[in-house]
Amino acid sequence: MATALAHAGWRFRRPSVIPGFGLTFGFSIAYLSLIVLIPLAGVVWRSASLGWPEFWRIASDPRTLGALKMSFGGALAAALVNIVFGTLVAWVLVRYRFPGKRIVDAMVDLPFALPTAVAGIALTTLYAPNGWIGGLLAPLGIKVAYTPLGIIVAMVFIGLPFVVRTVQPVMEEIDREVEEAAATLGARRAQTVRRVILPGLAPAILTGFALAFARAVGEYGSVIFIAGNIPYVSEIAPLLIVIRLEEYNYAAATAIATVMLAISFAMLFVINLIQAWSRRRYGYGH
Amino acid sequence: MVIDQPFSAAGAQTPPPRSAVTEGRATRVALTVIALLFLAVFLVLPLVIVFLQAFANGVGAYFAALTEPDAVAAIQLTLLVAAIAVPLNLAFGVAAAWAVAKFEFKGKAFLTTLIDLPFSVSPVISGLVYVLLFGSQSLLGPWLAAHGVQILFAVPGIVLATIFVTFPFVARELIPLMEEQGTADEEAALSLGASGWQTFLRVTLPNVKWGLLYGVLLCNARAMGEFGAVSVVSGHIRGLTNTMPLQVEILYNEYNFAGAFAVASLLALLALVTLIIKTILEFRYGDALSGSTGH
């Protein structure tokens, strides 16, 4: 393929002495197509075959809208909580010294490693009215489990490491001399943090926000136990897909999935843009 | 602009005066306490509660819950699924990393984005895609049924859904690592007469082995713990198509909390072991893993 294209003066691949491009590239593309691309294209194709009026009828159904609002609204709230506490955790881990820091650092990845169903039942037990935390909040009139608040708690849990792990490496690379310069020029510490450090961290925080948001929108396992799953109130979009599938209503399941996929891919695109922009502007980013 | 170069180089050697570039002691303590409290409530408590609840009815009940036939079947199925899905994604990850990291070609960034795609798809949708592909109402469905091939509500569907959700893990660890290492080592080996396979096995593989192990570890943890995608394709047939996370759900919904948390404790243990090995790898072989960014 490469040699054939080379004649046109446009090269698909730069020549190299290293062997195995055809084999590894071919295998990768075949595997990617079979496992990911063709099945995903199937969803879009099925959705297209519904026709626009039918698609719109399902997508604008009040229960669908309620579920989408819950998923996206909850994810937004959770991602906002996470950028505040995630940045704080990253700051404490990078700048301060305290006993057991290495263990705390490792624990941050727990939500990546802990299966979502396990996190779901553990959080529900904690936040139920008779649970450790739920019991403390109940006298204050705050109900967490089986309400939208519980959904946000679960989404905060699964999104936290995304913010910490995107902000932390960038924080480690901050040049201390910039802070010294600000201090010599008479800035108070709070001014230095707000005007010098935070703007430099903004692209990383934004990326962390987008990643945590994207993950929380699609989250299922950790949410369904604590959510209560009341239609129009605390029902998330992935659960509604499952419910429609169990009713053999494939059209509705496909339409909701297509809306979610479209928004997720738009998010992915935005994340890539932020990263490209921060690489150009600040010379880092992943 | 150019003049201050030597000064700044010298300045970097001496430790900065602490007061100017850090917060006051009270602020430091307060921020640390808030961060640790947040982590304790959101991360440590859920983990503690899993083990406490698992042993709520005593050690005897705990082991009885784990040796019950349905639990044993779930454990076996989970191990089987991971044993198929992880090696396949490992083979893909190595192949994709070789193609992406060792060669320059058009559309490389696009390919890398496509590899990461499954991470931005909801687990439920990852299961749905296979229901639409192989279900009775699909194009393939009637043909599969006529030939007696069962994919949905059977082990092949569970394996496929698991492969989908764990697809990027190995590749995304290896690609940055192998890109950073460049091609000089491989070119040297080839010029000394090594074959392509020899070069890969004796030069590339030893260079990336810790990154590879890291990726496999994360891939395995997710494969064994996947819930949403597997839940959609499994059909929840007890003793047949229930993986451990699905078993946890069923027991929990039956108010068998001790049983649910007993199975959950095994998964939590797997998560802890994964984190411990990951931390050791990062601590010992941090340099050999650099280029990889978390996850």
* B9 or A163, greater pLDDT: A163
Are B268 and A114 inside 8 Å of each other by CB?
yes
Mean pLDDT value of segment A16-38: 93
Task: Inspect the interface and report whether the beta carbons of B31 and A242 lie closer than 8 Å.
Answer: no
User: Mean pLDDT across chain A, nearest whole number?
Assistant: 90
Query: Can you give the pLDDT at residue B81?
Result: 97
Predicted confidence (pLDDT) at residue B12 exceeds the cutoff of 80: no
Q: Which of A19, A218, A225 sits opposite B196 (nearest CB)?
A: A19
Q: Which of A98, A217, A265 sits opposite B32 (nearest CB)?
A: A98
Sign of CA dihedral B24, B25, B28, B33: negative
Q: What is the mean pLDDT of residues A72-78?
A: 96
Report whether pLDDT(B27) > 60: yes
Question: What are the tokens at A264?
Answer: 């997720």
Q: Where are the alpha helices (DSSP H) in B135-168?
A: 140-146, 155-166
DSSP state of B290: T
List, for residues B133-170, the tens digit of each pLDDT value.
998 888 788 888 888 888 889 999 999 999 999 999 99
Q: Is pLDDT above 60 for B294? A: no
pLDDT at B8: 43
pLDDT of residue A283: 60
Structure-token match 């987008």, residue found: A210
| Rounded CA separation A84/B42 (Å) | 14
Q: How confident is the model at residue B32 (pLDDT cuts 50, 70, 90)?
A: very high
Q: Do A18 and B187 touch (CB under 8 A)?
A: yes
In this prediction, residue B18 has a pLDDT band, given cuts at 50, 70 and 90, of: low
Taking an 8 Å cut-off on Cβ atoms, the answer to whether B43 and A133 are in contact is no
CB-CB neighbors (< 8 A) of A16 in chain B: 102-104, 183
What pLDDT is recorded for position A286?
Answer: 44
3-state secondary structure of A190: helix
Per-window interface: B 40-79 vs A, CB < 8 A? 41-47, 49-50, 53
SS3 of B121, please? coil
User: Do B122 and A245 make contact, defined as CB atoms within 8 angstroms?
Assistant: no
Residue A13, strand partner residues? B105
Q: What mean pLDDT do residues B18-42 have?
A: 87
Contact A106 B32 (CB under 8 A): no
SS3 A231: coil
User: Does residue B5 surpass a pLDDT of 60?
Assistant: no
Which of helix, strand or coil describes residue A13?
strand
Q: Is B163 on the interface with A (CB under 8 A)?
A: yes
Express each pLDDT in A180-216 by its tens digit: 888 889 888 888 888 888 888 988 999 899 999 999 9
Judge: A133–B160 Cβ closer than 8 Å, yes or no: no
Q: Is a pLDDT exceeding 80 seen at residue B128?
A: yes
CA distance B129 to B124: 9
Question: Any chain A CB within 8 A of the CB of B291?
Answer: no
How close does chain B come to A92, measured CA to CA in Å? 6
Q: Which of A160, A176, A267 sits opposite B120 (nearest CB)?
A: A267
Residue A1 confidence (pLDDT)? 46
Nearest to B98 among A24, A157, A176 (CB): A24
Give the pair of three-digit tokens for residue B82.
Answer: 């991971």
Dump the DSSP string for A17-60: S---HHHHHHHHHHHHIIIIIHHHHHHHHHHHTT-HHHHHHHHT
d(CA B210, CA B217) in angstroms, rounded, equals 10
Interchain proximity A118–B50, CB inside 8 Å: yes
Q: What is the pLDDT of residue A273?
A: 84
pLDDT in tens, B242-289: 999 999 999 999 999 999 999 999 999 999 999 999 999 988 887 777
B293, A169: Cβ pair inside 8 Å?
yes
Residues in chain A with CB shorter than 8 Å from the CB of B196 are 18-20
Query: What is the percentage of chain B residues whose pLDDT exceeds 70?
Result: 91
Judge whether residue A78 has pLDDT over 50: yes
Q: Using an 8 Å CB-CB cutoff, list chain B residues near A37.
A: 114
Measure the CA–CA gap between A231 and A227, rounded to whole angstroms: 11
Single-letter code of the amino acid located at A103? I
Rounded to a whole number of angstroms, the distance from the CA of B83 to the nearest CA of chain A is 17
Q: Does the pLDDT of residue A85 top 90, yes or no?
A: yes
Nearest to A220 among B96, B123, B164 (CB): B123
Mean pLDDT, chain B, as a whole number? 88
Closest residue of A to B281, CA-based? A106
Higher pLDDT, B12 or A145: A145
